[in-house]
Structure 1
Amino acid sequence: MAPKKKGPLQTVQRNTDDIKKQVDSLILEVRQFKGSTESKAIVEASERCTHLQRSVEETLMTLKKLTKADEPAPVGNYEQRKVDEENRLNRIQKQLQALALTVSPAQKPGTSQSADLPSSSQTEEEDDAGVDSEEEESEEEEEEDEEDEEEDLEKQAETFIAISAFTAEQVGDLTVQKGDRLSVLSKNPDGWWLAQDSSGNKGLVPKTYLKVPQGEEEEEDSETEEESEEEMDEVSKTKQSNQKSAWDVVRKEVLEMNATDVLAAMGAIPPGFRPSTLSNLLNEGKTYRGSYYLQPELSQSRLAFKDLFWDPDTGTVRPRASRTSLPLTLWSCRMIPTPGVGVQVLSRHVRLCVFDGAKVLSNIHTVRASYNSKNPKTWTFSPRMVGILPCLLDGDCFVRSDSQSPDLGILFELGVTYIRNSTGERGDLSCGWAFLRLFDASGVPVPHRTYELSVHGGTPYEKGVDVDPSITRRAAGSMLQQMMVSRKQPKLVVKLKSPNANTRASLNLLPDTLVGSRCSIQLLAMYRQVLADALLRDRLTMQNADLICSPVLATFPQILDQTDLLDALRSMWAERESALKRSAKRDSELLKSLFVEVYLDSVFPLLNSASLPPPRWADEEQENQRARAIFSWAPQGSLAALLSPDTAQEAFDITQVTYDFLNPVRAATAS
């Protein structure tokens, strides 16, 4: 059987793939000789960059001339594919333009702009070989113009003196010493001037390091020295802002490639994978953690609480209905691509939060997925286990939000934590994201049912990116083939539920905005009631802001970020609660005192135990060590464990037992 003939559009796509690989390879090489003074490498990189730019332009011209009639066989979504390919080429072209600025020989000391340009004799030989003479003549004219401009710059150059030593920080900078005379060839508006020293080396120097010489003599009087000291003070104040100029931004985009770019260049991950957006937010601090959102929120006046009120009729915290307050269940993820050879996956998980299309409006909750090695592209949640299911594996979640945004919804980011076998480097990748709107265009809540959400590639701020573009390209004109390709697209299956009466009552005791595991709702509600007693009932006056002696209030939010400790508290609470009589379970004061007792007897001593390793995400060995420490502590109780000579505690700190409600509370934000 004769091989299938390739269409012109497919040929262009393959050419683009080849150009992309060459560009990625060139960027990696540029990064490797970053800061090098070897001009040969710079010139060679510049030549390759110019060659790739011409290849991109030729491919773009070929693509624009293509029509559907040129294809030997029908192609589905032809125009859309053509537009996608043109967008891809334009992105590569912009990347090459930024790269050309970085590797330009004119920005490297000791080199000339004309070092990588063809001479007139080469042009004549190419003309004899049949190359278009008009194009070569135009290029030669451009080269002559650039050389003339450079000569004009040297003639019009101004002489300055360096008032302080400057060491080149990146490719294109010029190292100068204090007192050096420099000829400034051009003054860029971003504050970095192109200068040339007495040896003929050229490069960029911050303008605050230069000053106009006073006469031809180099001796300076005391007044000049005072001015220099003042200028040096100005230099120290403005150096940081100058380094954030537009020029630095361009160089940073090209040279400082992250690990994801390296893996993509190696072909170890699909093109739609990105660094995890939500993981990066979690690592920035406590702003997006559950422990932060569990704290009471202050009103705009900061004289009262916005989401914590006392109900004198019931003697407890007043329930608050939020605009969005519902349970949801993560069912499964299907057809999720896996990283390739050389990358070991430590964790597969889904991170979810409240999102309005522009910013994250809640804490970020993480649910770890399970999978079968025989079918690694399918993720499942809530596996059947003996005993209490850990919070981290529980796909049953809840979402509360009081935001009035019309675009309010839930953002799901599918991610993996990996380690590179060759370097031991750890990182977090986004395998795609999905968004579920909670309200339609008229503001009506969406129905509570099962949703099959399409998983998109890139970040939540990128549109039209596929997780694996090769799957989309396989779609042909027939409806059957398109349906088959659609079944291979990544999907996330979730189910929105209506809360029952007990769940709704417990949810209304929680903060207005919070995302978490449904199995922890009761404990969170108990904590909020103890918090309301301390802040609203037992304080002498509402103007009293003294420290409150309460280990529970001071440390309970920490266990939301250490789910194994939360599981230990859940286990002991379930055991003690099951032993209560039915009448005792209706006594709110008894339940609150029991909650405090269980917490102090189980989790509180563990938080400051020297034998408990610190938590580390996706570290199986450390997770097992923590599990053994927690398991060995539980049977003996806190008092016996604290008095045992085999246990050691960290040094005591007053913050372990005192609660400062002015420190962790959140200021009210606009909805």
Structure 2
Amino acid sequence: MPPKRRGPLQIVQRETDDIKRQVDALVQQAAKADVSENKEALQRCRELQRLVDDIMKRLKKLSKADEPAPVGNYDQCKREEEKRLLTLHDHLQSLALQLLPHDETAGPSSSHTEQDSEEEDSDEEDESSEEEDAKGDVHEEDDDADSADEDTDMAAAAEQGSASYITLSSFTAKEEGDLSIQKGEILKVLSKNKDGWWLAQNSNGQKGLVPKTFLKMSSSLQDSERENEDEEDSEEEQESSKTSNWNTVRKAVTEIDATDVLSAMGAIPPGFRPSTLSRLLEEGSSYRASHFIQPKLSQSQLSFKDLHMDPDTGKVHGRPSRVSLTLTLWSCRMIPSPGVGLQVLSRHVRLCAFNGTQVLSNIHTVRATYNSKNPKTWSFSPRMTGMLPCLLDGDCFLRCDSESSDLGILFELGVTYIRNSTGERGDLSCGWTFLKLFDESGAPIALRTQELTIHGGTPFEKDLDMDTMSTKKGYQTGVFHQMLLSRKMPKLVVKLKSLNSSSRSRLNLLPDTIVGSLSTLHLLATYRQILADALLLDRVTMCNADLICSSVLASFPNVLDQPDLMDAFRKSWSESESNLKRSEKRDINILKQMFVSVYMGSVFPLLFSAEMPTPCWADEETESQRARIIYNPSQKTSIETLLSSQNSHQAFDITQVTYDLISSARQ
């Protein structure tokens, strides 16, 4: 009887077993080897690393259809092999660092004692400088000799305090100063910046900026930190030549994420992570609707790429985008809840356009509601009297012009919490899912209801099971049991819908890439018409970039980032629109005039009121205070309130009433 043919996955498993045996043998050999034998062991270590990379590439290309015979739990087996290979790669990288010659890995020599003491005294300055914008320093170092000297000092100090990180995904440099990285590569992070771009160095000595969301701290470094944390102070005094190593440990210990503590306490389920999309929103306006609603300049920067006027009608020329659709968030089910000690302030879903490695659009948030009797089920768009707040509205629209074959929608389920014991606030990701919008042939997927499985971790990590039942050894894998298990898996139900003619025409007036609430679509379309009039018709010449006197253009983008003010605007708009005739509702000139009148009479005075608290996400007290001011029936908000002595407002700033084309337009 001929032997059974081995499948590709089984071959990979055997090759991984063989490499693991070789790695174990190499570790034992390196422990007994002297300095002269380290070079040979280092060369063997690097050869094994290349073998692991080759096997990983082959494994990623495998599919269930490649197997000559059916394989039970194929996807789970494949994920387990990927985890084994990543562990081996990490182990080999750590071993390679240990085998490097002493002059390549050691810190400053003892002959530089004075320099060491000076650098130790400036540790606090170096740590604070890591919070500065390193990307701006890189581009400006050729302009000023003094700044170049400062960058050199910062790089020297950063090398002493550098930490090893593993890349979670590949990244291709698109700008000068960026560093291209491959998945699974080990980098030394030299400095960390608030804008999310970290200065890193690869194994070849090349330095550049990489997105911090692509990096994860090396597990070997974390183990080293735990072993040496208690002995840190005494070791620094006894071995000054190892200052650089301890600087790395000290800084890494202070950067332990709050989720590590919560996980150790059992306060959060497996698979929970710090929210990736919440962190991006906190880093500035780059991922907010206020940024994406602005016009985008063409490559020459002498005209607009996504804002054109139809000369025959005088209206904005509609531009179809590669993806233009509407969707409805229906529900989430079997979502684990945080444990004792955490009070949940908000349950929500954040969504954006995503290509597997990069967020392509603004990040839109929809808050979920739930029943305390069934906390694992989230729902959206609750039935309520009056106008539904756009923050609770599960009807959304999405436009994206990316040509990526992996273009899709990233959904991140999150909670905002507060620790009862310390009062500390934070944002956690309860899991994520990705809906790819095009199939393998490049055709759009069918517009229907999608039931998406929620994955643990982050979009840049390997798939983590949210349900521990699926990872128990010996769990039955029959069809019936798999059906029961599937019902217990966390799911997000989303319905993709085709556009009617009215929605399609309005969506085509918006920027090529943007995500938002469908209830605000008519207001955004009218705003773009007002914007086109000011930029394409009213300017003296297309080369003129003077400030434009327009309170609407200057302030409306900021209102997009404040859902309660958008609700107030929608309410006032609806009341005014009800008084229009049917023919007037189709007249764009009347709608533009009404937009300006309603906005200036309702939202604009609130935006700069000194009594209005600053928005704070998921803060019930702040939201209540703002609601009392916005919907105060005893005080009708109007333009006259700006001149009334009974109301206080923020100090006047020219930016409140002028639109700066240069700073507002997207490059």
Deviation at 1:80, TM superposition (A): 7.9
- Tell me which amino acid in the other structure corresponds to 1:502: S
| 2:485 aligned with 1:490 | no
> Are the equivalent residues in 1 in contact too, given 2:79–2:463 (CA < 8 A)?
no
1:490/1:78 Cα in 2 relative to 1: closer, same or farther (>3 Å)?
A: closer
CA distance in 2, matches of 1:653, 1:233: 35
Q: Deviations over 1:103-154 (max 9, x none)?
A: x9xxxxxxxxxxxxxxxxxxxxxxxxxxxxxxxxxxxxxxxxxxxx99xxx9
> What's the offset of the Cα at 1:426?
0.7
**Is the 2:605–2:639 Cα contact (8 Å) retained in structure 1?**
no
Note if contact 1:471-1:488 (Cα within 8 Å) is conserved in structure 2: no
Look up the match of 2:159.
Answer: 242
Kindly provide the amino acid, as one letter, of the partner of residue 490 in structure 2.
Answer: P
Distance 1:563 1:536 in 2: 29
Q: Does the 8 Å CA contact 1:95/1:254 hold for their aligned counterparts?
A: no
**Which residue of 1 is the match for residue 283 of structure 2?**
284
Q: Is the 8 A contact 1:602 1:634 kept in 2?
A: no
Matched residue, 2:264: 265
Does the CA contact (< 8 Å) of 1:551 and 1:659 recur in 2? Answer: yes
Q: Offset at 1:654?
A: 0.4
Deviation of 1:629 after TM superposition, in Å, equals 0.7
Structure 2: 5+ residue stretches without partners: 1-70, 124-148, 165-187, 190-220, 222-247
Partner of 1:662: 662
Letter in 2 for 1:418: Y
Q: Deviations over 1:236-272 (max 9, x none)?
A: 4544442453568544696231011111111111121
Match of 1:274 in 2: 273
Q: Give the residue type in structure 2 aligned to 1:656.
A: Q
Task: Give the drift of 1:578.
Answer: 0.8
CA contact (8 A) 2:119 2:157 kept: no
What are the within-5 Å matches in structure 2 for residues 35-184 of structure 1?
Answer: 159-163=111-115, 165-166=117-118, 168=120
Partner residue, 1:447: 446
Task: Find the residue that maps to 1:316 and give its secondary structure.
Answer: coil
Rounded Cα–Cα distance in structure 2 between residues aligned with 1:602 and 1:234: 49
Is 2:541 the partner of 1:541?
yes
Letter in 1 for 2:293: L
Letter of the aligned partner of 1:601 in structure 2?
G
CA drift of 1:639 comes to: 3.3
Instruction: Specify the alignment match of 1:582 in structure 2.
Output: 582
Cα distance between partner residues in 1 of 2:150 and 2:545: 43
Aligned to 1:62: none
Separation in 2 of the partners of 1:398 and 1:431? 23
In structure 2, what is the Cα distance between the partners aligned to 1:544 and 1:663?
14
Show CA shifts across 1:161-208 (max 9, x none). Answer: 52463465999xxxxxxxxxxxxxxxxxxxxxxxxxxxxxxxxxxxxx
What residue is the counterpart of 1:593 in the other structure? 593
Alpha-carbon separation, structure 2, partners of 1:235 and 1:525: 50
1:494-515 residue CA offsets vs partner (Å, 9 max, x unmatched): 0000010111111011111000
Which residue number corresponds to residue 405 of structure 1?
A: 404
- How far residue 301 of structure 1 moved from its aligned partner, in angstroms, is 0.6
TM-score (norm 1): 0.67
* Superimposed CA distance per residue, residues 330-379 of structure 1 (whole angstroms, 9 cap, x where no aligned partner): 00001000010111111000000000101001000000000000000000
* d(CA) in 2 for partners of 1:328, 1:234: 48
Q: Verify the 8 A CA contact 2:163 2:252 in the aligned structure 1.
A: no
Structure-2 change in CA distance of 1:357 and 1:238 (3 Å): closer
Structure 1 residues 634, 383: CA separation in 2 closer, same or farther (over 3 Å shift)?
farther
Q: Residues 336 and 163 from structure 1, CA distance in 2 versus in 1: closer, same or farther, beyond 3 angstroms?
A: closer
The 3 A distance-change label for structure 1 pair 375 and 101 is farther
Q: Is the contact made by 1:350 and 1:413 (CA closer than 8 Å) also made in structure 2? A: yes
Taking a change above 3 Å as real, the CA distance of residues 267 and 274 of structure 1, as seen in their structure-2 partners, is same
CA distance in 2: counterparts of 1:437 and 1:85, whole angstroms: 24
| C-alpha distance 448-99 of structure 1, shift in aligned 2 (>3 A) | same
Q: Distance in 1 between matches of 2:643 and 2:634?
A: 14
Q: Distance in 2 between matches of 1:526 and 1:468?
A: 46
Per the alignment, residue 141 of structure 2 pairs with: none
The answer for the alignment partner of 2:480 in structure 1 is: 480
- Counterparts of 2:75 and 2:499, CA distance in 1: 43
One-letter code aligned to 1:354: A
Alignment of 1:511-660 (within 5 A): 511-632=511-632, 636-660=636-660
**1:439-475 deviation per Cα after TM superposition (whole angstroms, max 9, x unaligned):** 1111111111000001111101122211233444274
> Hey, what's the Cα distance between the residues in 2 that align with 1:376 and 1:92?
36
The secondary structure found in structure 2 opposite 1:663 is helix
* One-letter amino acid of the structure 2 residue matched with residue 325 of structure 1: S
Higher deviation after alignment, 299-308 or 91-100: 91-100
**Cα RMSD (Å) of the superposition?**
3.3
Partner of 1:331: 330
Q: Taking structure 1 as reference, are residues 638 and 604 closer, same or farther at Cα in structure 2, changes over 3 Å only? A: same
1:467 paired residue number: 466
Counterpart check, 1:361 vs 2:360: yes
Equivalent position amino acid for 2:114 in 1: A
Superposed displacement of residue 97, structure 1: 11
DSSP 3-state at the match of 2:594: helix
**CA shift in 2, pair 1:423/1:407, >3 Å:** same
Determine the C-alpha separation between the residues in 2 that align with 1:609 and 1:633. Answer: 17
Distance 2:433 2:151 in 1: 49
CA distance in 2: counterparts of 1:519 and 1:85, whole angstroms = 44
Q: 1:633 to 1:323 in 2, by over 3 A?
A: farther
**Counterpart in the other structure of 2:294:** 295
2 CA distance for matches of 1:78 and 1:234?
52
Q: 1:312-333 deviations in whole A, cap 9, x for unaligned?
A: 1111111111111111000000
Shift of 1:573: 0.3
**3-state SS of paired residue (1:311):** coil
Distance in 1 (alpha carbons) for counterparts of 2:315 and 2:260 = 54
Shift of 1:543: 1.0
Q: Distance in 1 between matches of 2:74 and 2:415?
A: 35
Alignment-derived partner of residue 456 in structure 1: 455
Query: Hey, what does 1:191 align to over in structure 2?
Result: none
* Change in CA separation of 1:473 and 1:364 when aligned onto 2, cut-off 3 Å: same
Q: Which runs of 4+ in 1 moved over 6 A?
A: 78-102, 232-235
The answer on 1:322 being equivalent to 2:321 is yes
TM-score by length of 2: 0.67
Please say if residues 319 and 505 of structure 1, whose CA atoms lie closer than 8 Å, have aligned partners that are also in contact: yes
Note the C-alpha offset of 1:636: 1.6
Q: Which residue of 2 aligns with 1:381?
A: 380
Q: Which letter maps to 1:242?
A: E
Cα deviation for residue 588 of structure 1 reads 1.3
CA 1:633–1:322 in structure 2 vs 1: closer, same or farther (change >3 Å)? farther
- Cα distance, 1:634 vs structure 2: 8.6
- Cα 1:293–1:634 shift into 2, 3 Å: farther
- Contact in 2 for aligned 1:98/1:254 (Cα 8 Å): no
Query: 2:526 is matched by which residue type in structure 1?
Result: M
Q: Is the 8 A contact 1:633 1:641 kept in 2?
A: no
Instruction: State how far apart, in whole Å, the 1-side matches of 2:500 and 2:388 are.
Output: 21
The 10-residue stretch of structure 1 (388-397 or 585-594) with the greater mean CA deviation from structure 2:
585-594
More displaced, 344-353 or 578-587?
578-587
CA positional deviation for 1:233? 8.0
Deviations 1:590-631 (CA, angstroms, capped at 9, x unpaired): 110111000000001111000100000000110000000111
